A and B are shown apart, each in its own frame.
Chain A
Amino acid sequence: EPEVTQTPSHQVTQMGQEVILRCVPISNHLYFYWYRQILGQKVEFLVSFYNNEISEKSEIFDDQFSVERPDGSNFTLKIRSTKLEDSAMYFCASSEQGSSGANVLTFGAGSRLTVL
């Protein structure tokens, strides 16, 4: 069964460092997403991406965050200068038709980011 793959599974970084989290969505999907879950809290929407541009973003997704689809297969989340509160599990997802209504997202296993 097709799956979304994420790397790294766990990254530890120092505060202020740049981090890039990588995702390979399902090949025929057109919509891509990043969510995050701070330990013990809700899974939160960060950003959606379609047709090579951001289609929606949350207030969490400030200027420190960026997303990119550098080639036909990868979808990356960059955090420019990490803060302690960026420590979380980051989930990538993709879908054929977007998530409005009842369309289904396929999620990756997550990348755990620990900022020291």
Chain B
Amino acid sequence: GDSVTQMEGPVTLSEEAFLTINCTYTATGYPSLFWYVQYPGEGLQLLLKATKADDKGSNKGFEATYRKETTSFHLEKGSVQVSDSAVYFCALSDKNTDKLIFGTGTRLQVFP
């Protein structure tokens, strides 16, 4: 079945460092891809999405490009801030089903 694999955390960075969180997926069709973020004590919030190959989702300085050839949707940010500390979840959804399939989440810790 469809699945999502994320890099293990925690990822620990200094402020202004470059961030990459890897995400790869397995799907039989052509899913939509998402990054959700969970700040401490809050719900999962949509960070960005991409619906087809080569689409780039972006929001709050974060970017991810839908790469069909490598089945990847890696999250990047050029300069992280302490306020970016959170858990980041990669997910996919298929047009034929009513569910999101998530990865395990990657905790990001940014220190001043």
Q: Is B83 an interface residue (CB 8 A)?
A: no
| A109 and B42 within 8 A (CB) | yes
| A56 and B102 within 8 A (CB) | no
Q: Which residue of B lies closest to A100 (CB)?
A: B95
Q: How many A-B residue pairs have CB under 8 A?
A: 73
Q: What range describes how many residues of B lie at the interface?
A: 20 to 34
Smallest Cβ distance from A29 to chain B, in angstroms? 14
Contact of B104 among A42, A55, A98, A107 (CB under 8 A): A42
Q: State in angstroms the CA–CA spacing of A67 and B44 once bound together.
A: 21
Q: Is B74 an interface residue (CB 8 A)?
A: no
Q: State in angstroms the CA–CA spacing of A104 and B44 once bound together.
A: 11
Count contacts on A: residues with CB < 8 A to the other chain: 33
- A interface residues (Cβ-Cβ under 8 A, vs B): 3-4, 6, 31, 33, 35, 37, 40-45, 48, 50, 55-56, 58, 91, 93, 98-110
Q: Is B82 an interface residue (CB 8 A)?
A: no
| B93 and A110 within 8 A (CB) | no
Q: Chain A residues near B91 (CB, 8 Å)?
A: 43
